[in-house]
Amino acid sequence: MKILRTPDAQFADIAEYPFEPHYTEVDSGEGETLRIHHIDEGDRHAPIVLCLHGQPSWSYLYRKMVPLLVASGLRVVAPDLPGYGKSDKPAAREDYSYQRQVDWMGRWLKANDFADMTFFGQDWGGLIGLRLVVDHPDRFARVVVGNTGLPLNTSLDQQIVDKVMAFREDGRRLGFREMALALSRLRGIGNEPDAFPMGFAHWQKFCWNTADMPAGFMMEMMINAPATWKVAPRVLLNQYLGTALRPITPLGRAYEAPFPDASYKMGPRAMPSQVPTLPTDPSLEAQKKAWEFFLQFNKPFLCLFTEDDPVTRGAEKSFIGRVPGTAGLPHQMLPRGGHFLQEFCHRELSAAISELISST
């Protein structure tokens, strides 16, 4: 396994991220050592909140929540998944799978011996973190999820499966504009489970077929979009000449910082295709076992979602009323915040997590 490590200089000029780095070395599963980065802020004897990010972000996503949670008397631990942030980056597509991320982070968890934790996860952070709860239940006291899910689709019509697979593999280059239009039409995995796999396949295909996947530009667009006149020329040049989409704001550059060049981006490129939207996905059995676990899960389980996220809208319905631990808790559907709700709803999220810990 070839493993890349982002030079520290890439992170030198990032604002609002004053946190001391911590590193843990784990077995890659193939004999190499994989270095995983995390931040660890707050009183070492305080209750721990474990915050997991998704794709294509990193622990920078939690920079606004960390001081709020610490101020409320909590300890915040936020790692970078392998392939992201300051963590090492396996360089080949086959290095990445849903199970491998769960295994890597499980080894990281055991090496640090974290316990009595409250988990919070969004996007892939939820998919991976919920499986960590299944594998290490004694280490978790509570679960909070936001704009994420635990996908399991066992009854999708075979014609839809065939259509999605043919689209993924037809060799046609998918441009940014076409991908963005397809995502804008999504109504959420929880609201249209049969239509979602085809719509989401545009994101899967775009990420994999774009060697220099524009992580910073995408985060810039989804969080704090620059004026149209600044964006449109770059999109057109990308569409017709294949030029790279580079971020132009400090926020976008911060999300691009972990990737000095395209060779470092295999994680963000490969992981979308690992989202189990089809009944043929390799993680199907592990997802079934995870759901068997959560249908018996009695510890507090809080859902904090946004109404305007086209990807996970409706996913909260798969948890609330089905997971026993959701009963009687103040679940929230925040009116705005987009997919990366940590950026706009950091106060609401931090307050809800703090209240859950103090009241349970």
Catalytic residue positions, numbered: 123, 309, 339
Distance in Å from the first CA to the final CA of the chain: 44
Under 8 Å between Cβ of 307 and 335: yes
Q: Which two tokens stand for residue 307?
A: 């109404």
Residue 190, number of CB atoms within 10 A of its CB: 17
Cross-sheet strand order for the sheet of 33-41: 21-27, 33-41, 75-79, 48-52, 117-121, 140-145, 301-306, 332-334
Under 8 Å between Cβ of 23 and 35: yes
Amino acid at 19: F
Torsion angle of alpha carbons 271, 211, 188, 249, nearest 10°? 110
Spatial separation of the C-alpha atoms in residues 44 and 277, rounded to whole Å: 39
25: helix, strand or coil: strand
Residue 142, number of CB atoms within 10 A of its CB: 22
Place of tokens 């990308």: 238
Spatial separation of the C-alpha atoms in residues 272 and 285, rounded to whole Å: 19
Q: Which two tokens stand for residue 71?
A: 């101020």
**Strand pairing category for 75-79 and 3-4:** unpaired
